[in-house]
Structure 1
Amino acid sequence: MHQIEPINNNGSIQLRFTYAGKRYSFNPIPGGQYNNKRDISTAKSIATQIQNDILAKNFDPSLNRYRITPKSLPQQSAPKSLLELWDCWVSSLNLSTATREHHYKTIRHQIAKANPDLVDTTWLTQAKLAASTHNQRLGYMKACFKWAMTKGIVSSNPYESIKTHKVKQKVVKPFTAREIKLIIQGFEELAPHYSAFVKFLLATGVRTSEAIGLRWSHLDFDRGLINIQESLSRDWEGNGYRRVRKETKTGSERQLKMNDGLRELLLSLPRKERDSLVFTTVKGKVIDDGNFRERYWVKVLTSVGVDYRKPYTTRHTMISHAIEQGTPVTGVAYLAGHRDTRMVLETYGHMINKPELPDIF
């Protein structure tokens, strides 16, 4: 196996390795810093222990055996600013790179820009944020200070008394049957190479990354099934443009039955090797969803006179049309790749068993 070495992870320490086909990534020293010689020495010792346990077939997949609890760390000075506290808390969470590079990085940028004192909350309460964004960041700060209280860093949580903002429920506006026809016609005329890709998104409602990552080996024409079992998602450990193959968002697999239209569509495509991608760019490369949206999606919708909605609306479209056609909620949840019906009921509940007005006249 490859030598396990500490990696510089934005200043903190990360150990990354693969065992039994599973990738592991964690910070063995909460609060540890890559530029601290003592922390690096400790991390190297832990890496050696992991390698020895793997060779001895005594590896602990929970990683608990290899973590150092904050209490066993040398005494460090308490954070004096909110930014320092935030970094300490985030470091203790052992987040994946993808998770850290989203909400956590955005919030850190806002904190760094305002540079508030440890208990100053005005950077959040006086910021012009959407209600949902305010509530989300408030939730993170409450959790951060709850952790700080357990560590004795602060004596109270200044965010506990701050109220959430009322969020207006977003109205899902799927494409109508007329708009679907216009979009398909537009792609066939203006961007024919991506016509099959768009039709597939509309017909299946799969996540964009799942369609991008679909391989020919995932198609079973004998049984008429499409196996949705992995995706090609952005690699946030790189520059965000390279993609890595992952399991589906919920970690579950599902099989979608081909109807006649889907079968005909997929059979019309040039067949390639089993591990080759079904949908690619004109040059045979991996489709970049951002580039596709800017160069083709916007152009087509504008040309055919359809109000702009994100490509993800193809997913809403399949789900809403399935509900309108009487598909049970459990079936819709399965088609969408949800673990249960909660998300379907929360987002599309107003469409299910929609009552009719009584006959008055």
Structure 2
Amino acid sequence: MGLKKKSRKGEISIGNNNGRIRLRWRVSGERFSLNLPFDYLPENMHHATIKVAEIKLDLVKGCFDATLEKYSPKIETPQVNKTEIIVPANTQVDNLPVLLGDLVKDFNNWAKNIRNVDIDNAVDYLYLRRVLERWLDIEVSKIAFQLNTADWSISTYNRRLTMLQTFFTWLVENGKMTANPLKNVRRRRNRKKQKNTKRTPLNIDEIRLILDAIKNNTFCSKSSFHKHSHYYPFLLFIFSTGVRNAEAVGLRVKHVDLTKKRVEISETFARTLKGSNHSARIQKGTKTENTRFLPLQKELITLFKRQILGKQPDDFVFPSPKGLSIDDQMLQKRILKPILGKLGLDERDLYAARHSFGTRAAKQGIPVTDIAYLMGHSTINTAIRNYISVEAPSYKLPSL
């Protein structure tokens, strides 16, 4: 493989340890080493670079796991075909509650007291409880077969299977069942996810067209009580930073630090099953329960100076015309959708602003670890999957 060059200070080196890949680095003077279960071959180097990026991201975020347990590769067992049922039809599990209906009360208790969720406002838990309520007369021992007959997408199936496996494990640990009927049921193989066309990234020219139309009330009726331009600061912010809709809706004056020229993203004002209007929303942490700080450039600093002027720390930075939280669904339906149509652009939802930011950042050469941090991803994999693409072939090899 040739002579190994000494890595620069602060870098993570990728080396050959008895034919296998090894990573080595230092943190605060302490040396760390991580062996990967892959042969030291060119075709395996992508495993190393992804792991290096993951470690670097945690170092930037301040959540580096010094035990290295988080970074130890998990060797996955072979996946099964989605039509294949792991539990045979004649499997008998003794001493289980007879029907799924007997478990609804325990599910509510588990969700509320063990998972610490408000089940009425947690979509996944609420819908799964409704599934159990529909399957009241299904025998517990046949739940694997019932799951396989459900007309769900692969991601929904896998998500609900995982939740039920965790629930049944808790029942076993607490003596309510003697065995987990889903223990050996494996997740379905997730084929390449179809892209949501309404979230197709917009290019810079298209973004400017949209923002100019909003700012200048180009397509706003003269008789309209609320002008489109009221939403210009909100839309400029999400297109400029790629924050999630609920993060922008819930941004408060106390989160803006003009002295340090940064904004803190640490909470959301999220919609619930009751709707997206102000009274239906609840205050929550971010999707990944982390806090990040976004740098503010000149245009956003000027914008924030106007937006927070004369407001209290807990006031919304981007209120609705009535001083409440912005209803992002109504904004999309009543303003964004008609404007896109009149501009001759394909329909998008507001989340396209986030995808546009990530794609733009990747094309401009921003490191994937930085993109993951700025967008609040818990790992770099989401950024790689959504924003790092090979839209055009490369006709040039990298120089030595």
- TM-score bin (small chain): 0.5 to 0.7
Q: Which runs of 5+ in 2 are unaligned?
A: 1-94, 221-227
* Residue aligned with 1:119, SS: helix
Q: Which runs of 5+ in 1 are unaligned?
A: 1-76
Is 1:284 the counterpart of 2:323 in the alignment? Answer: yes
Q: What is the letter of the counterpart of residue 347 of structure 1?
A: N
Query: Quick one: which of 361, 364, 370 aligns to 1:331?
Result: 370
* Residue aligned with 1:145, SS: helix
1:173/1:239 Cα in 2 relative to 1: closer, same or farther (>3 Å)? Answer: closer
Q: What is the letter of the counterpart of residue 176 of structure 1?
A: N
TM-score by length of 1: 0.67
Q: Is the 8 A contact 1:80 1:117 kept in 2?
A: yes
Q: What is the letter of the counterpart of residue 349 of structure 2?
A: K
Query: Quick one: which of 76, 80, 88 aligns to 2:98?
Result: 80
Counterpart of 2:209 in structure 1 is 182
Query: Quick one: which of 109, 119, 141 aligns to 2:130?
Result: 109
Q: CA deviation at 1:106?
A: 0.5
Counterpart of 1:139 in structure 2 is 162
Query: Quick one: which of 92, 96, 100 aligns to 2:116?
Result: 96
1:349/1:154 Cα in 2 relative to 1: closer, same or farther (>3 Å)? Answer: farther
TM-score by length of 2: 0.61
1:208/1:135 Cα in 2 relative to 1: closer, same or farther (>3 Å)? Answer: same
Cα distance in 2 for residues equivalent to 1:147 and 1:284? 45
* Residue aligned with 1:153, SS: coil
1:267/1:89 Cα in 2 relative to 1: closer, same or farther (>3 Å)? Answer: closer
Counterpart of 1:262 in structure 2 is 300
Q: What is the letter of the counterpart of residue 118 of structure 1?
A: V
Counterpart of 1:273 in structure 2 is 311
* Residue aligned with 2:382, SS: helix
1:123/1:78 Cα in 2 relative to 1: closer, same or farther (>3 Å)? Answer: closer
Q: Is the 8 A contact 1:149 1:157 kept in 2?
A: no
Q: Is the 8 A contact 1:132 1:165 kept in 2?
A: no
Counterpart of 2:24 in structure 1 is none
Q: Is the 8 A contact 1:83 1:108 kept in 2?
A: no
Q: Greater shift after overlay, 190-199 or 176-185?
A: 176-185
Q: Is the 8 A contact 2:355 2:387 kept in 1?
A: no
| CA distances 1:7-47 after superposition (whole Å, capped 9, x unpaired) | xxxxxxxxxxxxxxxxxxxxxxxxxxxxxxxxxxxxxxxxx
Counterpart of 2:15 in structure 1 is none
Q: Is the 8 A contact 1:205 1:315 kept in 2?
A: yes
Q: Is the 8 A contact 2:271 2:280 kept in 1?
A: yes
After superposition, residues 1-361 of structure 1 pair within 5 angstroms as: 79-93=97-111, 94=113, 95-98=115-118, 101-115=122-136, 116-121=138-143, 122-150=145-173, 151=175, 153-155=177-179, 157=181, 160-161=184-185, 164-171=188-195, 173-188=200-215, 189=217, 190=220, 191-234=228-271, 241-269=279-307, 271-275=309-313, 276-350=315-389, 356-358=394-396
Q: CA deviation at 1:156?
A: 5.5
| CA distances 1:68-109 after superposition (whole Å, capped 9, x unpaired) | xxxxxxxxx963311322541452352334466311210221
Q: What is the letter of the counterpart of residue 174 of structure 1?
A: P
Q: What is the letter of the counterpart of residue 83 of structure 1?
A: G
1:87/1:305 Cα in 2 relative to 1: closer, same or farther (>3 Å)? Answer: farther
1:301/1:160 Cα in 2 relative to 1: closer, same or farther (>3 Å)? Answer: farther
